[in-house]
Amino acid sequence: MSFDARDFRNALGCFPTGVVVVTAGSGRTLSGITVNSFASLSLDPPLVLWCLDRRSSRYRTFTTAENFTISVLCNGHRTISARLAVPGGYKLDGLKLTPTQSGPPAPAGALAVLECVREAIHDGGDHAIIVGRVLALAYRKTGKPLVFFRGRYGTLAGRA
């Protein structure tokens, strides 16, 4: 390997990603985490995936949750994203949340909400790849997404 981990991260940071929050649990065990390693996987059946660092203090919460909710954040959600991205910042207390059919709520005003049941978990090096089957969804037809690029938040220019 002729590059170090920082160079690898910097190179990957050149790829702009959307930002999602994943929520799991209920009541006092409700947790959230900010994720930018999210992707669609299959249309039939409807599957999505996201990745979770094995060293995360929230690892057990999310890998054992049968249901979880993925919320695509809009540009007005920077504070929520930043709060749920730091170690120990998993509590959703005080956030405006929208109930869902399957349990874990979504941040109010999300661009899209995907309610999932855990389909599989795969090894991905220092991360777990969590696959979810989408059971229900909702989305807004307007709004600008929150984007992460070169270590900073941003949004898309143009129509939304």
By the 8 A CB rule, do 68 and 30 touch?
Answer: no
Stretch 146-153: mean pLDDT = 92
pLDDT tens per residue, range 10-60:
998 889 999 999 999 888 889 999 999 999 999 999 999 999 999 999 999
Q: What is the DSSP letter of 74?
A: B
Tokens of 38: 């999210």
Q: What per-residue confidence (pLDDT) applies to 103?
A: 80
pLDDT tens per residue, range 94-147:
999 999 998 899 999 999 999 999 999 999 999 999 999 999 999 999 999 999
Helix (H, G, I), strand (E, B) or coil at 60: helix
Which phi and psi (to 5°) does residue 131 adopt?
-105, 130
Mean pLDDT of the chain: 93
Distance CA 54, CA 116 (A): 21
Tell me, rounded to whole angstroms, the distance of Cα 36 from its chain centroid.
Answer: 6
Least confident range of 34-48, 59-73, 83-97: 83-97
Residue 22: which of 114, 96, 86 has the closest Cα? 114
| Domains within the chain, CATH numbers bracketed | 5-144 (2.30.110.10)
